[in-house]
Amino acid sequence: MTESSIGQPLSRVDGPLKVTGGATYAAEFGVAGMAYAVIVGSSAGRGRITGVDTRAALAQPGVLAVLSHLNAPRLPYREYRAAVDPAVGERLHVLQDDRVRFFGQPVAVVVAETLEAAGHGASLVDVTYAAEQPSTDLAASTATPLAPPGVNGDYARGDADAALRDAHTRIDQTYRMTRENHNPMELHATIAQWDGDRLVLWDKTQWVQSTAAQLAAVFGIPEDSVHVISPFVGGGFGSALRAWPHVTLAALAARQVSRPVKLVLTRRQMYSGTGYRAAIDQRLALGSTADGRITSLVHEARAETSAYEQHTDAVLVLSRFLYSTPAVRASYRLVPLDVHTPTFMRGPGQATTSYALECAVDELAHELGIDPIELRLRNEPGHDEFTGTPFSSRRLRECYSVGARTFGWAKRNPAVRSARDGHWLLGTGVATACYHTMRSAAESLARINEDGTAVVASATSDMGPGTYTSMTQVAADSLGLPTDRVGFLLGDSTLPPAPPHGGSQTMASVGSAVRAACDALRDNLTRLAVAHSASPLHGVRPSDIAAGDGRLFVRDAPDRGETYQQILAREGRSRLQVRRSYAPGDAPDRFSTYAYGAVFAEVAVDEDLGFVRVRRLFGAYDVGRVINPKLAHSQAIGGLVGGIGMALLEHTVVDHRDGRIVNANLADYLVPVNADVPAVDAVYLDGDDRTADPIGVKGLGEVTLTGVAAAIANAVHHATGRRVRDLPITLEALL
Ligand code: MOS
């Protein structure tokens, strides 16, 4: 019998397509008769458009049309709200009025026969403004902050302020994180084609069906009139979770010129045309007893959002439950600025909180003279003190013991500035990683063909984690097929419904739907076999039948069985197909389900110049079951490297004089490159959390981005004795 495909380090099934250029990304679809669109972005950060002179642009050979608010059709912009984010609704009604809400806002779009003509035309559009001073600085803003409702709203248990006053030892600090941009390698791109009132979009998106629904709302057409195709996504990190204004502009332009239109954002336009991780200040106060029991936790977060939409991240999640403490007060405020709307980015919410919280815990440990791992273990909760529910699984202690052993934590001298290598000061730091286990309803189709191959499909995405591969493994395991006889389809809005490919929920949600569909298909085949007098399985109890190597057989007598081809042939059918759904039910209400980890960092800081170099990173994670250890390890490396970026490099610089983004390119916006990435490694504990979902997974992508920045910042403190509480940690701060 075949070994289960789950747990195998299968290489990406789409790898050959990717390395041979056979994987087609949004901008690469060849659509006959295509024209090209280029956006003109506002050069004012706030105000009104007083004029749009398009004569020079229209006089250029090849320019077909120039659209601005002066001539663009008024669009219905029906209300649309996605469950995942109340802000997803595109309340930036693009080209609908003369208002400028942020620097770089699309104020015109030029459509031409070639990209070159469109780009040249865009440079010739003369827009004049009555500009006003924009407010783009979170620290300086005097706007009234908004309190998000619902799950991100104010929370308290006990009297945290009194407990803080009365505590033996207190830490009370503000941690600042700058704005960051996702910077996926693939630029956001859309090709739009109308056929009457039907719209086809080849688009970069992490959520094909929501993109279809959003565009249907903008144009006031039925959702099933929009077909979104997105088989490959070259990185997303959250930037492609909603349809940004350029998608509307591509569709608008295509309708205007009655031709398919391709619109690709430039790298510079990505910084004003898609979302970003909001700049955020967090006050984190901890009170404790002399022996390190946390008696109070105060968390006050204040983040930027746009004046026209409110984006909220789950920034209060960790402060409410990660540590056992009788008193918590947590609040989150949004400061509306003249900026475009931020969005979810890599470990949204929890990556943010884990930085402030895990630095504060390290500060408390240092103050108390208690080892930072020991301090954390002393405050391990027995259950979720926010919800009152038990943990489905929480193996943080094991993460710490495995991590500490592998990293060599016991050798550490706790004194700061106690290790050096020439002029490099050496330090080590640690932090807890944690990310919620999201699950949403999902559907999958599963089909067996007369040649014994299977096709499984759901409208999810694969922005890089390996969805094609991991879903193939789940399906192959259920059906008892070798993985090379299973094809998984995704990235098409006409496929069975799937939730956003984000929040690390794809495996739990879509994987469980794939499991349900494939199990049902196998059961249907089993029923056909046992019911047919010509089958060797006739009359066998279905529970005594197993599947493997593309056949059904008696578990205790494997020679007695038949192939799927034989069953279908006897039935005279070319295929058998089922559709099944998964819904999380009440498990999320009855159990507290999170992925956990312990992150260890070693840094070297140049004593004279302040350079920080990460020397080692190691993470040990509790994520439930791992479907594919090779892909999972790759996710962990990616998350840890992302953490280096957050800690030391990534910083979107806004010029507050006019709202311009100064470093809107990959030369000036620093992301870690190979030279910044030293020995990075991670392990996942063997696990299986069937309370979380039917396939036992807890999500393993984004947890690996949480905690990393804190571990690095804590290591910098250990090396230098300096606490830098603003990210990224730059050399200026260490001089
Ligand atoms: Mo991720 S921010 O959930 O795409």
The 10s digit of each residue's pLDDT in 411-439 is 999 999 999 999 999 999 999 999 999 99
Work out which ligand 1 atom sits closest to the CA atom of 347. 2
- pTM more than 0.85: yes
Question: What is the H or E stretch that residue 19 is in?
Answer: helix 15-19
- The three-class DSSP label of residue 203 is strand
Q: Which residues of 237-265 are buried (b: 16+ CB within 10 A; e: fewer)?
A: bbbbbbbbbbbbbbbbbbbbbebbbbbbb
Centroid of ligand 1 to alpha carbon of 81 (angstroms): 18
Residue recorded with tokens 């196998």: 522
Please provide the average confidence, as pLDDT, over all residues in the chain: 97
Work out which ligand 1 atom sits closest to the CA atom of 502. 3
Centroid of ligand 1 to alpha carbon of 346 (angstroms): 5
Q: Which amino acid is at 650?
A: E
pLDDT over 50 (residue 286): yes
pLDDT over 50 (residue 455): yes
In terms of phi and psi (left: phi > 0; alpha: psi -120 to 50; beta: otherwise), the region of 564 is alpha
Residues 345, 277: contact at Cβ < 8 Å?
yes
Work out which ligand 1 atom sits closest to the CA atom of 463. 4
Give dist(CA 450, CA 380) in Å, integer: 55
Establish whether 223 is a catalytic residue. no
Structure letter (DSSP) for residue 279: P
- The three-class DSSP label of residue 26 is helix
pLDDT over 70 (residue 86): no
Centroid of ligand 1 to alpha carbon of 700 (angstroms): 12
Residues 513, 582: contact at Cβ < 8 Å?
yes
Per-residue tokens: 474: 């789940």
User: For 89-134, what is each residue's pLDDT tens digit?
Assistant: 457 899 999 999 999 999 999 999 999 999 999 999 999 999 999 9
User: Averaged over 33-40, what is the pLDDT?
Assistant: 98
Q: Which residues of 13-34 are buried (b: 16+ CB within 10 A; e: fewer)?
A: bbeeeeeeeebebbbebeeeeb
Work out which ligand 1 atom sits closest to the CA atom of 206. 4
Centroid of ligand 1 to alpha carbon of 505 (angstroms): 9
Residues 6+ apart with CB under 8 A from 439: 505, 508, 509, 512, 584, 587, 588, 692, 693
Centroid of ligand 1 to alpha carbon of 221 (angstroms): 28
Residue with CA at minimum distance from ligand 1 atom 4: 238
Query: In terms of Cα–Cα distance, which of 546, 706, 733 is closest to 623?
Result: 706
Centroid of ligand 1 to alpha carbon of 701 (angstroms): 9
Centroid of ligand 1 to alpha carbon of 236 (angstroms): 8
pLDDT over 50 (residue 1): no
pLDDT over 80 (residue 88): no
pLDDT at 84: 55
Q: In what order do the strands lie in the sheet with 294-306?
A: 155-157, 328-337, 294-306, 280-288, 169-177, 726-727
pLDDT over 90 (residue 393): yes
Per-residue tokens: 24: 């087609």
Cis amide bond preceding 372, omega within 30: no
pLDDT at 87: 55
> Probe ligand 1: pick from 181, 346, 352, 509, max atoms within 8 Å of CB?
346
Residues 342, 276: contact at Cβ < 8 Å?
yes
pLDDT at 2: 54
pLDDT at 547: 98
678 confidence band (pLDDT: 50, 70, 90): confident
Residues 445, 577: contact at Cβ < 8 Å?
yes
Q: Which residues of 42-73 are buried (b: 16+ CB within 10 A; e: fewer)?
A: bebbbbebeebebeebeeeeebbbbbbbeebe
> Probe ligand 1: pick from 505, 702, 703, 704, max atoms within 8 Å of CB?
702
Residue recorded with tokens 């003509």: 117
User: Averaged over 208-213, what is the pLDDT?
Assistant: 96
Residues 486, 479: contact at Cβ < 8 Å?
yes
- The three-class DSSP label of residue 431 is strand
Helices 245-257 and 208-219, interaxial angle, to 10°?
A: 60
Q: Of 180, 304, 358, 702, which one is the catalytic site residue?
A: 702
List, in sequence order, every residue forming a beta bridge with 395; answer none if it has no partner: none
CB-based pocket (< 6 A), ligand 1: 206, 236-238, 241, 344-346, 348, 502-503
Concatenated DSSP letters of 131-159: E------TTT--SPPB---GGGS-EEES-
Work out which ligand 1 atom sits closest to the CA atom of 504. 3
User: For 501-560, what is each residue's pLDDT tens digit?
Assistant: 999 999 999 999 999 999 999 999 999 999 999 999 999 999 999 999 999 999 999 999
Centroid of ligand 1 to alpha carbon of 630 (angstroms): 21
pLDDT over 50 (residue 599): yes
Give dist(CA 328, CA 434) in Å, integer: 18
In terms of phi and psi (left: phi > 0; alpha: psi -120 to 50; beta: otherwise), the region of 657 is alpha
- Of 136-140, 201-205, 307-311, least confident by mean pLDDT is 307-311
Q: Taking the CB of residue 544, how many other CB atoms lie within 10 A of it?
A: 14
User: For 306-349, what is each residue's pLDDT tens digit?
Assistant: 999 999 999 999 999 999 999 999 999 999 999 999 999 999 99
> Probe ligand 1: pick from 84, 204, 207, 241, max atoms within 8 Å of CB?
241
Per-residue tokens: 727: 């990210």
- The three-class DSSP label of residue 360 is helix
Work out which ligand 1 atom sits closest to the CA atom of 238. 4
> Probe ligand 1: pick from 188, 233, 237, 700, max atoms within 8 Å of CB?
237
pLDDT over 90 (residue 304): yes
Query: How many secondary structure helices (H) and strands (E) does the chain include?
Result: 18, 31
pLDDT at 85: 58
Centroid of ligand 1 to alpha carbon of 117 (angstroms): 36
Centroid of ligand 1 to alpha carbon of 240 (angstroms): 9
pLDDT over 80 (residue 463): yes
> Probe ligand 1: pick from 239, 345, 462, 635, max atoms within 8 Å of CB?
345
